[in-house]
Amino acid sequence: MYHIGFDIGSTTIKAVVLDDENNICYRSYERHKAQARQKALDKIIELRKFTKEPFTFAISGSGAIGLCEQSGLPFVQEVFASAVATKKFFPETDCAIELGGEDAKILFFRGSIEQRMNSTCAGGTGAFIDQMAQLLNMSLEEMNEASLHYHRIYPIASRCGVFAKSDIQPLINQGVDKADLCASIFQAVVGQTITSLAQGRKIEGNLLFLGGPLYFLSGLRKRFQETLKLEDEQINCPDTAIHYVALGTALCADQEFTRESIEGTLEELVNTPVEMSESKPLFETKADYDAFVARHQSHDAKYADLKSYTGKAYLGVDSGSTTTKLALIAENGDILYDSYSSNKGNPLDVVLHDLKTIYDTNPDIRIYGAYSTGYGEELMRTAFHLDGGVVETLAHYTAAKKFNPDVDYILDIGGQDIKCFKIKDGHIDDIVLNEACSSGCGSFIETFANSLGYDAKEFAKLGLKSKHPVDLGTRCTVFMNSGVKQAQKNGATVEDISAGLCRSVVKNALYKVIRARNKDDIGKHIVVQGGTFQNDSVLRSFEQELDLEVIRPSIAHLMGAYGAALYAQKLHRTPSAILNREQLENFSHTARSVACQGCSNHCSLTINTFNDGTRLIAGNKCDKMIVTKSRHEDLPDMYKIKTQMFEDIKKKYHHEKKIGMPLVLNNYDLLPFWSRFFDSLGYEIIWSKPSTQETYQRGQQTIPSDTACFPAKLVHGHIQELIDQKVDYIFYPCMTYNVDEKQSQNHYNCPVVAYYPQVIENNMDMEETKFVSPFLSFDDEKTFVKAFCLHFEKAGIKFRKHDVQIALHAGANDYKLFHEQLRLKHQDAVLYAREHNLPMAVLCGRPYHLDPLVNHQIHQLLTQLGFVVLSEESVPRQQPHTTNVLNQWTYHARLYQAAHYVCENDDMHLIQLVSFGCGIDAVTTDEVKEILKASGKFYTQIKIDEVDNLGAVRIRLRSLKGAIEQQKEEEQHVH
Amino acid sequence: MYTKFTSDMKADHLILVPSMLPIHFKFFKPIFEKNGYHIEVLDTDNDNIREEGLAHVHNDMCYPALLVIGQFIDALKSGKYDLDHVALAITQTGGGCRASNYLSLLRKALEREGWDYIPVLSLNFSGLEKDSGVEMDLPLIMRTIYGALYGDALMWLKNQVMPYEVHKGETMRVIDEMVDELMVSFENGGYRKSKKIYRDMIDRMKAIERTKEPKIRVGIVGEIYMKYSPLGNQHLEDYLMQEGFEPVLSGVMDFVLYSIENGLIDYKYYHMHSKSWGIYQIAKDVVMRMQKTFRDAVKQDGTFVAPDDFSEVIRAGRPFIDPGVKMGEGWLLTSEVVSLIQSGVTNVIMCQPFGCLPNHIVAKGMTHKIKQEYPNANIAPIDFDPSASHVNQENRIRLMMANAKLNARMQEQN
């Protein structure tokens, strides 16, 4: 008897036919282009040629659940199918890794079978590699080939595809070698599999690689092999790797069918109209559509002929993350030349080509100013000798004003970024950029269109015809992928998916990024722009969602470049220094990556060298390597000061006997306490070193929850470091309660800070080291001493209660002194700032944001911009204020204090660092913002994670600085 | 300034309460009516609730906050209620978890709609919001406890009968009947005869015709709202039954005992509550004795599996987690998982809101060690959030179920 197994995934359908002896007599692997049901029917009909009746049949895969529910056909869970196939064909396997279009799965066979799939948060891996390939403009084969010849691996966030993408983008912009990029991308996939899937269980023994990406990409397998340190004979990627689930399904199939019954059932399914929740179409009637088109045509920009133009011209270049935009304008603002091109991995070539075209069309063109903006602003400026750069927020505002002088809101959705600026009284009042988690919105539509076999424009047009757009939710693209899966499962049409995706992009922007509650939150005169709004379905969804008519200039996609050109016109009065035709001819450029030796951070730098000898160094976090820029290294910086104070304390005490402690989370606050405390008891603390990427990787394998905040996940690495040093004891107490600073209703730690030692204890192998972790609270001396002594006694050290009591007081005293000192330094910094008339930034977060790997040296970025940097910890004690939220955490109460303090000081500005995944900051950010808003202050929030993408942060901070300066100028006008 | 709920509002204000446990919350109406409070439990379930939640609450806030606040706003916008005579009640745990902020988030949401005149009541035992709560007198407290116990008992029995019922819908019909009768008993005082009531429950559930076909039992633990609320966990109990499993959920009184136990632990660890310590001890004893009445009745009858003694639950968790972990569901969640496994329920679903902080510790953080100790444990953490589409969760639950079946089959073979 024949056995047929189908595996219907998110993008593909796989089929396997087995004969009596379980020999494979047919297999196939095809894309179904969202037509899963039809394809399944076609396949069954095709199989007439290969099978005899009766046969058994079963289906597996995420795309099959709905199908089986409706039809009653037997369903086999996909991981289960893989497990069965492995037991049958490769019984010696210890572990199987299967990467699919969007799923990542891991199976452990040793002991009881354990199966894991990627959690809701982790991005799809196959789809992710596809996306990256497109970003690099390479085919998968090329990527694979290139990856084998890499020299260097760059750290790329391994948590979810979207984050990884924002890590890769700057590398591409910096011109990093493609071979290195490809290998780094594969390495990210490996990292993701290890953290989000293995979750503390070691991947070892004999490994089976399954699924398309692993089967087709030997480079990816190589990364796995090297990372997991496996011998050649330990790994196996069978030729059935891509059909594996279907194979297992065929093995599991035990229900007999006749051809007629299956074909009948499937045919019926294809013809059944699917029940859908009613949703409003984008356009009810043709007339609606025509009115819409006519209205938007009225916002067309004017063009003039480049060839015959004799006046002064101004050039703007907007070097974005995925596209490069260029505009050349005449004195009256008419556009002489414009272009919008995909970077294809090398934005310099794009601009080079455009400039040549301009010179070729009009060799006598007189360019009187050329400015660049966007991610690649510096690269463009240096490469082509442009006259200046402008922060993109300002460029967009300048352009939008040209279309509506009253504009009070600009929303720009580009390939990867969402930017919104609120304008009040002629200056930028608020800036919202998308956080790492919801980026990729525009390019997502494109990628998705391609994966369904459509061209992006064609796909967008389909949405206009949709009768029932599907609801795909408002989270990051990874979730949308699953939403589409769901819709496909329900049999939604491509039209409905297209419209649904567009609506999601809009909702994402409104509810996730801007977090608008009603239209008054947005504004009355809205200008929308960016490539994504070129898509009429997106535009229409936006107007529908807000119930407002908005302006989309015909050059919506060029606004940054147009604004930069206008800016050049405003600021530049002499002929531009831009390369002339001849210089362009000789233009060439090489990129080389090095590790900076300037300090212990060893940032990875890219050195771009141009044919005229000009060099541009990108990727640096500080100014050390760049001599041309003015140096602000020496401005007071409380983050630097506190780090130095910590270093001093660490060197202060010396004893024979040592105790290891991780420098993580609340220990960034309590270090002065514990140092003196143990000194008093005759012990020296061996603190784990400040985090590096290596620290993180060291403990990565034991992290049980990949959605915990980055500072928490780092703890594993620190503990591992101490274990590897073979310290005898690691002391890391659980602290439900924090130090009571009498500024809040209660003085809790957050659950993660309070109880992370419990996670460590249960997930890490301590080897020879003893882990001492009592529950301690500073509120009650007696129980503190008792618990401390008890736990150490169990570990083999006997302390006398009285000694501990004395140590407790000594530690508390030093802790108090430390904070007083911080406040003194704070006051010095304020004095310095006022003497030199410098703006001050109160960089707020948690004590552990002092960790260099956590804060990404944002404080240095601020000093580079000319800010004196203060911290929330060093803010002098304020009068307690009432809050609108329950104020019961010590660290968080400091935030509210800092906010009030900033309100009282005109020359201070608050910037809040928020760790991704910090649930409590969902409460604090709103409250801090409200406190600041009540006093007319800017609120700037920066979300941080393991992603090291300072590009966006820099824009953010530069815009803030621009806004502050603008505000200042206006105030001077008034007086 | 927000509006407080004053005692003169009792007479003419309708208090809305978001539902969490479908059976238990039905008793609220008669229980509180007796003290002059007019209560309506919101058991609405529609997409607009999620939409309103997303629009009114920070999207990174926990999912239950979003649902509960969304449910309120949805109800207030429905036109069913006279906004001048309506009040909202919400629970506050007062612990170190951000869930304690639901109340202030609700007030913020109301303010945004211009409804700051609508009073919000806090239901808590931590002394928060003393001037805007329900005045709990002893009879009211006792009635509430009885309500919760009966709810627990009905839920416990329902899950052992419904998956096996021969006539579809019969179990729910019987449950509804009993709920109606109990509601009357809260009005006329008959609710105190617990022994008789339990025996009656068991007899009537027993009388329902059931199949003998064995089914795999699947435990549900998790963040309290996600564990119980069908709105939150997308009708997980029903789904499991529909797929041929028997769901196992411990009662909500265990959570109450957990809260009381935390008071005792606070005293032991930090010498907190030195004055109220004795009361906690008494409360614990009383509640445990009341639970025992039901357990004994079930055991005596012998038809159904009896719930675990809470002291057993406490003991089960000790080797894995320190009782000092008390934020969110704290040590209770870990203990429940272990005690389920020990009583043979090796398949466990952990329901949590996406990004729930305590669950990093007590749920995902503990599975590694639990699995080391019990290799055949099949634990599936499921994250729920407003837009993670249903298929993802469903697929994960399916994986758990497939695993459960695989394990059952392996055991048969051995």
Cβ-based neighbour number of residue A794 at 10 Å: 11
What is the mean pLDDT of the segment spanning B29-38? 90
DSSP bridge pairs for A210: A98
Please tell me whether residue B87 adopts helix, strand or coil conformation: strand
Better-predicted residue by pLDDT, A466 or B343: B343
Distance between CA A970 and CA A776 in Å, rounded? Answer: 54
Chain B residues with CB inside 8 Å of A113's CB?
Answer: 403, 406
Q: Which of A201, A474, A750 sits opposite B357 (nearest CB)?
A: A750
What is the mean pLDDT of the segment spanning B190-200? 94
How many C-alpha atoms does A904 have within 13 Å on its Cβ side?
9
What is the DSSP secondary-structure string of A398-412?
HHHHHH-TT--EEEE
Name the residue type at position B189. G
* Phi and psi angles of residue A193, each rounded to the nearest 5 degrees, phi first: -65, -40
The per-residue pLDDT for A312 is: 93
The per-residue pLDDT for B258 is: 95
Q: How confident is the model at residue A628 (pLDDT cuts 50, 70, 90)?
A: very low
CA A46 to chain centre: 44
Residues 272..301 of B with a Cβ closer than 8 Å to A: which? 272
Burial of A802 by CB count in 10 Å (0-12 exposed, 13-18 middle, 19+ buried)? exposed
Q: Do A79 and B388 touch (CB under 8 A)?
A: no
Residue B326 clears pLDDT 90, i.e. is over it: yes
Chain B residues with CB inside 8 Å of A515's CB?
Answer: 58-59
Count of residues in chain A? 975
Strands (E), B186-281: 216-222, 245-248
The per-residue pLDDT for A959 is: 78
What is the mean pLDDT of the segment spanning A308-333? 90
Q: Helix, strand, coil: what percent of chain B each, to 5? A: 55, 10, 30
Chain B residues with CB inside 8 Å of A62's CB?
Answer: 391, 395
Better-predicted residue by pLDDT, A88 or B2: A88
Q: Do B398 and A65 touch (CB under 8 A)?
A: yes
The per-residue pLDDT for A818 is: 97
Å between B47 CA and nearest CA of chain A:
10
Cβ-based neighbour number of residue A265 at 10 Å: 17
Better-predicted residue by pLDDT, B236 or A497: B236
Mutate to test the interface with A, among B357, B374, B378 (most CBs of A within 10 A): B357
Cβ-based neighbour number of residue A572 at 10 Å: 21
Q: Provide ipTM, 2 decimals.
A: 0.94
Burial of A598 by CB count in 10 Å (0-12 exposed, 13-18 middle, 19+ buried)? middle
Distance between CA A649 and CA A652 in Å, rounded? Answer: 5
Q: Which of A486, A752, A777 sits opposite B389 (nearest CB)?
A: A486
What is the mean pLDDT of the segment spanning A831-843? 94
Angle at A400 between CA A291 and CA A532, to 5 degrees: 60
Strands A104-108 and A95-99 turn out to be: antiparallel
Chain A residues with CB inside 8 Å of B96's CB?
Answer: 736, 746, 748-751, 754, 888-889
Q: Do B327 and A79 touch (CB under 8 A)?
A: no
Please tell me whether residue A132 adopts helix, strand or coil conformation: helix
**Which of A106, A119, A111 has its CA nearest to residue A203?**
A106
Retrieve residue A65's tokens. Answer: 């659940």
Distance between CA A625 and CA A620 in Å, rounded? Answer: 8
Residue-wise pLDDT tens digits, B117-156: 999 988 766 666 666 777 778 899 899 999 999 999 999 9
What is the mean pLDDT of the segment spanning B10-34? 92
Angle at A635 between CA A634 and CA A638, to 5 degrees: 110
Spell out the long-range contacts of A13-17 with Cβ–Cβ below 8 A and sequence spacing 24 or more.
A13/A39, A13/A40, A13/A43, A13/A61, A13/A63, A14/A61, A14/A242, A14/A243, A14/A245, A14/A246, A15/A43, A15/A47, A15/A243, A15/A246, A16/A240, A16/A243, A16/A246, A16/A247, A16/A249, A16/A250, A17/A47, A17/A50, A17/A51, A17/A250
Å between A843 CA and nearest CA of chain B:
22
CA torsion angle B306 B308 B309 B311 (round to 10): 170
CA B166 to chain centre: 28
Residue-wise pLDDT tens digits, A578-617: 888 888 888 888 877 676 665 555 566 777 888 887 777 7
DSSP bridge pairs for A430: A422
Q: Do B376 and A780 touch (CB under 8 A)?
A: no
Q: Helix, strand, coil: what percent of chain A each, to 5? A: 45, 20, 35
**Which of A702, A608, A704, A683 has its CA nearest to residue B360?**
A704
Name the residue type at position B96. G
**Distance (Å) of CA B38 to CA A784, B28, B66, B90, B235:** 47, 10, 25, 15, 28
Cβ-based neighbour number of residue A98 at 10 Å: 26
What is the mean pLDDT of the segment spanning A834-856? 94
CA torsion angle A380 A383 A384 A385 (round to 10): 100
Strands (E), A534-640: 589-595, 604-610, 615-618
CA A148 to chain centre: 26
| Residues A731/A772, Cβ–Cβ less than 8 Å | yes
Q: How confident is the model at residue A272 (pLDDT cuts 50, 70, 90)?
A: confident
Retrieve residue A111's tokens. Answer: 């002991």
Residue A64 clears pLDDT 50, i.e. is over it: yes
Residue A2, phi-psi category: left (phi > 0), alpha (psi -120 to 50), beta (remainder): beta
**Which of A772, A808, A776 has its CA nearest to residue A792?**
A772
Retrieve residue B204's tokens. Answer: 């009537």
Name the residue type at position A435. E
**CB neighbours of A49 closer than 8 A, spacing ≥ 6?**
none
What is the mean pLDDT of the segment spanning A69-78? 85
Cβ-based neighbour number of residue A932 at 10 Å: 20
Cβ-based neighbour number of residue A877 at 10 Å: 13
Min mean pLDDT across A164-178, A201-215, A812-826, B366-380 is at A164-178
Residue A374 clears pLDDT 90, i.e. is over it: no
Q: Which of A112, A489, A748 sits opposite B96 (nearest CB)?
A: A748
Residue-wise pLDDT tens digits, A646-691: 999 999 999 999 999 999 999 999 999 999 999 999 999 999 999 9
Residue A479 clears pLDDT 80, i.e. is over it: no
Q: Do A889 and B107 touch (CB under 8 A)?
A: no
- Mean residue pLDDT of chain A comes to 85
Percent of chain B with pLDDT strictly greater than 90: 65
Distance between CA A574 and CA A404 in Å, rounded? Answer: 29
**Which of B121, B112, B129 has its CA nearest to residue B53?**
B112
Measured between CA atoms, the residue of chain A closest to residue B50 is A473
Q: How confident is the model at residue A434 (pLDDT cuts 50, 70, 90)?
A: low
| 3-state SS track over B125-177 | CCCCCCCCECCCCHHHHHHHHHHHHHHHHHHHHHHHHHHHECCCCHHHHHHHH
The per-residue pLDDT for A492 is: 78
Q: What is the largest CA-CA distance in chain A?
A: 93
DSSP secondary structure letter of residue B355: T
Chain A residues with CB inside 8 Å of B59's CB?
Answer: 474, 511-512, 515, 922
The per-residue pLDDT for A81 is: 87
The per-residue pLDDT for A541 is: 87
CA-CA-CA-CA torsion sign (A798, A803, A805, A808): negative
Angle at A330 between CA A326 and CA A333, to 5 degrees: 85
Strands A207-210 and A95-99 turn out to be: parallel
Å between A489 CA and nearest CA of chain B:
9
Å between B29 CA and nearest CA of chain A:
29
CA A290 to chain centre: 39
Å between B326 CA and nearest CA of chain A:
8
Residue-wise pLDDT tens digits, A330-349: 999 899 999 988 877 678 88
Q: Is B17 on the interface with A (CB under 8 A)?
A: no
DSSP secondary structure letter of residue B36: T
Q: How confident is the model at residue A697 (pLDDT cuts 50, 70, 90)?
A: confident
Strands (E), A511-603: 526-529, 589-595
Residue A624 clears pLDDT 60, i.e. is over it: no
Residue B311 clears pLDDT 80, i.e. is over it: yes
Q: Do A884 and B104 touch (CB under 8 A)?
A: yes
Q: Do A885 and B105 touch (CB under 8 A)?
A: yes
Please tell me whether residue A27 adopts helix, strand or coil conformation: strand
Residue-wise pLDDT tens digits, B75-121: 999 999 999 999 999 877 666 676 678 888 899 899 989 999 999 98
Q: How confident is the model at residue A306 (pLDDT cuts 50, 70, 90)?
A: very high
**CB neighbours of A445 closer than 8 A, spacing ≥ 6?**
A456, A459, A460, A501, A502, A505, A532, A535, A538
Q: How confident is the model at residue B166 (pLDDT cuts 50, 70, 90)?
A: very high
Q: How confident is the model at residue A437 (pLDDT cuts 50, 70, 90)?
A: very low
Residue A44 clears pLDDT 50, i.e. is over it: yes
What is the mean pLDDT of the segment spanning B387-408? 75
Distance between CA A748 and CA A892 in Å, rounded? Answer: 9
Q: Is B386 on the interface with A (CB under 8 A)?
A: yes
Alpha helices in A285-406 (DSSP H): 286-297, 347-361, 377-384, 392-403
Better-predicted residue by pLDDT, A618 or A827: A827
What is the mean pLDDT of the segment spanning A177-194? 87
Better-predicted residue by pLDDT, A504 or A60: A60
Mutate to test the interface with A, among B77, B115, B382, B392 (most CBs of A within 10 A): B392
Mutate to test the interface with B, among A736, A740, A747 (most CBs of B within 10 A): A736
Strands B14-18 and B38-42 turn out to be: parallel
| Residues A949/A903, Cβ–Cβ less than 8 Å | no
Q: How confident is the model at residue A644 (pLDDT cuts 50, 70, 90)?
A: very high
**Which of A442, A453, A417 has its CA nearest to residue A538?**
A442
Residues 337..376 of B with a Cβ closer than 8 Å to A: which? 354-362, 364-369, 371, 375-376
Q: Prior bond to A54 cis, omega within 30?
A: yes
Q: Do A886 and B103 touch (CB under 8 A)?
A: yes
What is the mean pLDDT of the segment spanning B184-198? 92
Q: Domains along chain B?
A: 7-135 (3.40.50), 215-250+308-413 (3.40.50.280)
